[in-house]
Structure 1
């Protein structure tokens, strides 16, 4: 038994059976007995302090029920000692690193002599346990460079190494002691380069997904909706944008009037995003989308147990959520009369109470409201409070219907084509001028929302990169179920309008092609059978 090492052998009672001379003469052997009965009991690796110096204790059971203990003195700043003292399963972790079948380890000394080879590598190279130890690493491992790293001290990370016709991705790292090069470690990181490529692909996919959700989040935060989202260059839209610029910085209530689908919510968001409250998200409530019984709890919030089905912890209402921000009440004309009274009080002094509570709360929000209903008529019918109307109507903005700005339809269509193409991956990039001309001839009772819906539907079922008349044939089918509000000086339905526009376009195409039906159909983007059908309709007209 070597005498230069601190070695102690304990019998099955924990008494000293043998101690090397350094351990016996220094008194360390007796300290180890106490340690193994205390903090080191049952541990294969542990740490202790003797004479104010840290020691690492390795305990190994022997065949005759004894325990051989090897003690190594470490520096006071030793990370190894800190690790062993902090982690009870330190031995299991170190053992895992040494025997892990997925990340085999090879250790060489400064002379490139193999000192350790993981069991998985021993089996891979066909060696018995410990048979390769003591041999030059170049004689054991094919294409190794560990001997170079052990000599130069330069690490090699992520290198591909061919071993027995198998490629592995490895790291080779030099080992230093007190600044001196004492050896090197090789470790398999991936079983094959393909795994690195797969990992890279997964990381790229995750990055793309994160980027996508970042863009989506940014879109949700700003929900569209600066002035650039109000598409159009007509005089009516130019005037509306100018009014938004003027009123947005002023902390006054704004009332937005306009037909359904004309873009009132876009205007509300643009006002908020140009206001001094833009740092906080605008709060939106569609009064027409909620049952009258829920509007009040949505606005004011409620306390725990306020009504059957209420959350046990209660809930904040829109007034609280909109504090120091903007509150957009869409379809305010659908708000019940009893809620209108309570809303008037909050708008006047910013004080409210949650449903089921008597505690007054305060809020400071800017009110933006909108409706497609005639509030003045509703006031005369006593369906809307006049005092609330004048309170919310600090400034009124009018959003024109699409039929009053048909010149904006080409811009809107191109805008929708671009947006929808990005969202659904459609190949459509443009619209045929004749189809665009047909769309401009319609009255659009659903306004911009209906136009967007029709363009999106046409793109979903389109085969090529261009929308044609044939892609909007569904407008005729819809006409049987939807009556358009009469345009100025006309009582035509959508079906009649579409038919008139189609017939006019067909006549013009036939004239340009001197009656050649094949060429006319190709220009119009319709089949010849459909052309013949329309020609039959034309012939039956007076």
Structure 2
């Protein structure tokens, strides 16, 4: 704390009193070297209450003026020094700098006072008086050193801000399929809004990429994107992680307290991944935060206003969870303002060649390998697999294959061990026998459902696509694929 750093250590009783009073005044965060530098330059300092009465003085102040704190504590400063201007600073809420300090006798060295009102929530909370006796040269030298340190501190602050920004952009979403193009359109629309976004999709399909892309394209891109995985936090720590806590809120709490993720994301975006794993008891608390735009720390007495854009992701249907009484319907409706469904890899297998090519380049760089590519027959076999782990599984398979090959072109032998017990072998056998009954049955069912929906809504493709849970772009693609007359 600035005020605490600007005084010398008082006696134990006075130290307790000062901390009690100063904690009501204000809080500042300074680099350690900076406040040490400031302390070294201070000669005398005074703390007053909001009415201009003495609360604390430094030992050097007592030595300079020959007055003990116990003799003046609670008295008005103007009653002790009629020329003091602390009352003017407190009344106007404006600092007065470089005012000649009051002298007790002519033998004293002339000093210069700074009268500083301490403001909290728009109101005066206390006063601070600081006297400097150094020469102009040393004052200028101090100013230069302080400014240099502040510049260095600001540089590192900017570096931290860069690290807290979004890690990915929409360029990291690889693919040219209709589903991917439609997904990118939805991301761009969501980025133009500040409404809450719910991203749904299977594990490993790229929901985090979507969240990062929305933040990166939004007006909040220069502010932090704070990420939290709801599945990775023990239920008993959930509230403190999201909302933070004050000192003494519970046994083992940090003496400095702790900021919650909502505070850390101020001005930016908060990404709650796997929100379906959020404990039921926490859900109404999150709902209140979203409705009131304020949080209250554990052990805190005041609400803290927040300005964040919430992005949530779920790898399971929240609507199904509502029916199972494991997710609150009111929270779901608050989250589901903008909804983005990320397609599974099996739904866009035409993107596999592009994805694999991108992964080869990435892993060559990361692992120091020189793999030149992958054989076309391997890509064909990849297309026959259903990829239950989605892009994350594909990435794992490609990395394994590259570590097997090390260089040159990857062939099926580099992947055969992985697929040995997978369903790919069954598909391969059926293909050899000319028996693809399951795949054909799936297509027939899909065509039948499309026909029923088209007959129901006629020319209204928007309502048809909505009922089927797909985009208009994909609907037109399916109509063309099955050569349906509409």
TM-score, with structure 1 as normaliser: 0.49
Residues 474 and 315 (structure 1), Cα distance of their counterparts in 2 relative to 1, 3 Å cut: farther
Q: How does 1:257-272 map to 2 (within 5 A)?
A: 257-272=200-215
Aligned 8 A contact 2:272 2:312 in 1: yes
- Name the CA shift for 1:293/1:379 in 2 (closer, same or farther; >3 Å): same
Distance 1:412 1:306 in 2: 49
> For residues 432 and 266 of structure 2, what CA distance do their matches in structure 1 show?
53
- Per-residue deviation at 1:312? 2.2
The 5 Å alignment of 1:281-300 reads 281-300=224-243
Q: Distance in 1 between matches of 2:412 and 2:430?
A: 13
**What is the Cα deviation at residue 329 of structure 1?**
0.4
**Alpha-carbon contact 1:475-1:498 (below 8 Å) kept:** no
Q: Quote the Cα distance in structure 2 between the aligned partners of 1:438 and 1:217.
A: 45
- Find the partner of 1:318 among 251, 257, 261: 261
Q: Which residue of 1 aligns with 2:338?
A: 395
Write the deviation string for residues 19-70 of structure 1: whole angstroms up to 9, x where unpaired.
xxxxxxxxxxxxxxxxxxxxxxxxxxxxxxxxxxxxxxxxxxxxxxxxxxxx
User: Is the aligned partner of 1:354 residue 2:297?
Assistant: yes
Matched, 1:344 2:287: yes
User: Which stretch has the larger CA shift, 401-410 or 240-249?
Assistant: 240-249
d(CA) in 1 for partners of 2:427 and 2:162?
37
Residue deviations 1:209-244 (CA, integer Å, cap 9, x gap): xxxxxxx99995555421111101111110010111
Structure 1 Cα separation of the partners of residues 255 and 433 of structure 2? 64
Contact 2:164 2:226 in 1 (8 A): no
Match of 2:426 among 492, 496, 501: 496
Following the alignment from structure 1 to structure 2, what is the Cα–Cα distance between the partners of residues 442 and 220? Answer: 37
Q: Which has the higher contact order (CA 8 A, sep 6+)?
A: 2
Displacement after TM superposition at 1:272 (Å) = 0.3
Structure 1 residues 327 and 288, CA gap change in structure 2 (3 angstroms): same
SS at 2:238's partner residue?
A: helix
Q: Which runs of 5+ in 1 are unaligned?
A: 1-215, 480-492, 505-542
Q: Tell me how far apart the structure 2 counterparts of residues 417 and 299 of structure 1 sit (CA, whole Å).
A: 38
For 1:270-285, list aligned pairs within 5 A. Answer: 270-285=213-228
Rg larger in 1 or in 2? 1
- In the alignment, which of 156, 178, 196 is matched to residue 253 of structure 1? 196
Contact conserved, 1:438 with 1:502, CA < 8 A, in 2? Answer: no
CA RMSD of aligned residues (A): 2.2
- Give the conservation status (yes or no) of the 8 Å contact 1:441–1:501: no
* Cα pair 1:328 1:367 within 8 Å, conserved: yes
Alignment of 1:141-290 (within 5 A): 223-290=166-233
Output one character per residue of 1:98-135: Cα deviation in whole Å (capped at 9) or x when no partner.
xxxxxxxxxxxxxxxxxxxxxxxxxxxxxxxxxxxxxx
Give unmatched runs, 5+ long, in structure 2: 1-158, 435-486
Secondary structure of the 1:448 match is helix
When residues 281 and 497 of structure 1 are mapped into structure 2, their CA distance, relative to the original with a 3 A threshold, is: farther
One of 248, 251, 260 as aligned partner of 1:305: 248
Q: C-alpha distance in 1, partners of 2:236/2:424? A: 37
Write 1 or 2 for the structure with the bigger share of helix: 2
Structure 1 residues 161-184: Cα deviation after superposition (integer angstroms, max 9, x where no partner): xxxxxxxxxxxxxxxxxxxxxxxx
- In structure 2, the CA distance between the partners of 1:422 and 1:357, relative to structure 1 (3 Å rule), is same
Q: Write out per-residue CA displacement over residues 143-194 of structure 1, whole angstroms, 9 at most, x where no aligned residue.
A: xxxxxxxxxxxxxxxxxxxxxxxxxxxxxxxxxxxxxxxxxxxxxxxxxxxx
SS in 1 for 2:209: helix
Q: Deviations over 1:241-283 (max 9, x none)?
A: 0111112111111110110100000000000000000001211
The 1:436–1:503 alpha-carbon spacing in structure 2 relative to 1, beyond 3 Å, is farther
Q: Give the match for residue 434 of structure 1.
A: 377
How has the CA–CA distance of structure 1 residues 454 and 478 changed in structure 2, closer, same or farther, with 3 Å as cutoff? farther
User: 3-state DSSP class of the match of 1:428?
Assistant: strand
Cα distance, 1:386 vs. partner? Answer: 0.7
Residue 455 in 1 paired to residue 385 in 2? no
Secondary structure of the corresponding residue to residue 295 of structure 2: strand
Cα distance in 2 for partners of 1:452, 1:303 equals 43
2:296·2:302 contact (CA, 8 Å) conserved in 1? yes
Q: 1:421 touches 1:429 (CA, 8 Å); kept in 2?
A: no
1:262 touches 1:399 (CA, 8 Å); kept in 2? yes
Pair 1:353–1:258, CA change in 2 (3 A):
same
* Selected match of 2:273 from 285, 305, 330: 330
Q: Secondary structure at the match of 2:198?
A: strand
Give the whole-Å Cα distance in 1 for the aligned partners of 2:186 and 2:331: 23
Structure 2 residue 414 is the aligned partner of structure 1 residue 471: yes
How far has the Cα of 1:362 moved from its partner? 1.4
Note if contact 2:226-2:269 (Cα within 8 Å) is conserved in structure 1: yes
When normalised by structure 2's length, the TM-score is: 0.54
Contact 1:260–1:447 (CA<8 Å) still a contact in 2? yes
Aligned residue for 1:328, secondary structure, equals strand
**What is the deviation of 1:398?**
0.7
Provide, for residues 367-405 of structure 1, a one-character-per-residue CA deviation record: whole Å limited to 9, x for no partner. Answer: 100101111111111111111111111110010000000
SS in 1 for 2:371: coil
SS in 1 for 2:259: coil
Alignment coverage as a number of residue pairs: 276
- What is the alpha-carbon distance in structure 2 between the residues aligned to residue 352 and residue 304 of structure 1? 16
Whether 2:343 is the aligned partner of 1:413: answer: no
Tell me how far apart the structure 2 counterparts of residues 355 and 319 of structure 1 sit (CA, whole Å): 13
Q: What's the secondary structure of 2:370's corresponding residue?
A: coil
